[in-house]
Amino acid sequence: MTVLLIESLATTEPLADLFSDDAILQAMLMFEAALACAEAHYDIIPKSAAEAISQAAHPGGIDAAAIIHEARLAATPAAPLVKAFTERVRNINPTAAGFVHWGATSQDICDTALVLLLKRAQPILEHDLLRLEAALQRLAEQHAGTVMLGRTLLQAAGPVTFGLKAAGWFAGVHRGRKRLTTCFNETLIVQFGGATGTLAALGKSGVAVGQKLAQELGLSYPEAPWHTHRDRLAALLCACGVLSGSLAKIARDASLLMQTEVGEASEQIAKCRGGSSTMPHKRNPVGSVEALASANRIPGLISSFLASMVQEHERAAGGWQAEWPIVAGVIQATGLAAAAMAEVMETLTVNQERMRANIGATRGSVFAERAMMLLAPEIGREAAQKIVEEAVHKSLDQNRQLTQVLSETPEVKKHLGEETLRTLEVPEQYLGMADEFRKRLLSSATEDPEGPNRNRGKE
């Protein structure tokens, strides 16, 4: 399927295919075929009817445009689809037509179809998230000792390592993926309740048929139908929201590092990628832009879903009907962000020399805290802070290194030796627990059997 132009920055081709008309119709017809098989298994309908229904359950020849038109007349696409499908079954076996959709209701087919689409979406999202985790893990390991400026409130601060930054990105994605997996597992359940959620039309066989239906579709069977209880879907979308926020945090950091005047990282140079319609020199952070755009859209969509959760009694008037485009939008936006950031991080160029140069450009002012902490035990914290603060101002005013100014300060010379001052501005000596924290962040994957290295060594 070709992605619609208006959705070109809102989805990926695999996810656009997943939510295409054919895919949705196929999922709905899968429900009808599985229901017929489950009911035939318990002799509720004839086996010959189930065979005819299964034979007819494919989207080929179904007029999607007509279904869409008639859906507005019924406030559900299920009613016109069941009508058209019944006629198709009638052409195969007239008697079987009377057993189509037996004991089910419109929301059963729609909700289960949506769940079947989500089941297909899960491995698509997981594939790109695992790619991203693996790329971030490699960056964190390769750049364990790559020093760079830490930045707080967008201003230069003490040194960190790019390995620590990448490990932080990795851990956020890893937690988000695990959270998403849990929510998918809770959401992949069949919907089968009949008219009022009691399956009264099936007598005492309702639960058995529902369980068989779930088995046929590869879904779990819930405690009871969930027509107006949308908490599982809500939790899944909220997990997507949190994950997309983590992806966008990476995108924001990366795009800031890619600014021309910073120049510490860049996306891969490729034909037609990152270019400008008017400025040939541009190298735009397009992958990060796609992830940020997705993260901008998702919170509003989730808010709409949460508002639609207030559903009346046994069947909603408006709440349930609002959900399909919301769910599709959130899943596709999350998938786009994951795919975009996986591509960025798999090919990211890290400019270690520029990182070190940017530390040097501060004239040592980012080591003021270190100087203060060395002086404080000797003369007290307040006195040390005052001396170092004055030295920093003088250093910046005179465009001189902080250590030069400090070495001319009597109180500093009295308490700090030449060797201490000489190495004051060596970033590797003021990294604290950076590498320990990097290792701890990465350890979550090695302890997780579903982590990005789960298949390493099995080839």
Q: Known catalytic residues?
A: 276, 315
Q: How far apart are CA 15 and CA 19, in angstroms?
A: 6
Amino acid found at 276: S
Tokens found for residue 311? 């559903």
Tokens of 65: 């445009």
Euclidean distance between CA atoms 262 and 358, whole angstroms: 8
Contacts 24+ apart (CB under 8 A), 358-364: 358/148, 358/149, 358/156, 358/262, 358/264, 359/147, 359/148, 359/149, 359/159, 359/427, 362/149, 362/156, 363/395, 363/396, 363/399, 363/400, 363/401, 363/402, 364/395, 364/401, 364/402, 364/403, 364/424, 364/425
Q: Rounded distance, CA 324 to CA 18, Å?
A: 13
451 φ, ψ to 5°? -75, 180
Reading the block at residue 246, the tokens are 């983590």
- Do residues 112 and 192 make contact, with C-beta atoms less than 8 angstroms apart? yes
Q: Which helix (H) or strand (E) holds 160?
A: strand 155-161
Residue in 149, 376, 361, 422 with CA at minimum distance from that of residue 389: 376
Task: Give the CA diameter of the chain.
Answer: 103
Identity of residue 386: K
**Burial profile 331-358: b = 16 or more Cβ within 10 angstroms, e = fewer:** bbbbbbbbbbbbbbbbebebbeebbbeb
- Nearest 5°: the CA angle 400, 405, 409 is 170
Distance in angstroms (rounded) separating the CA atoms of residues 136 and 346: 8
Two structure tokens written together for 161: 């390592």
Residue with tokens 């207030």: 310
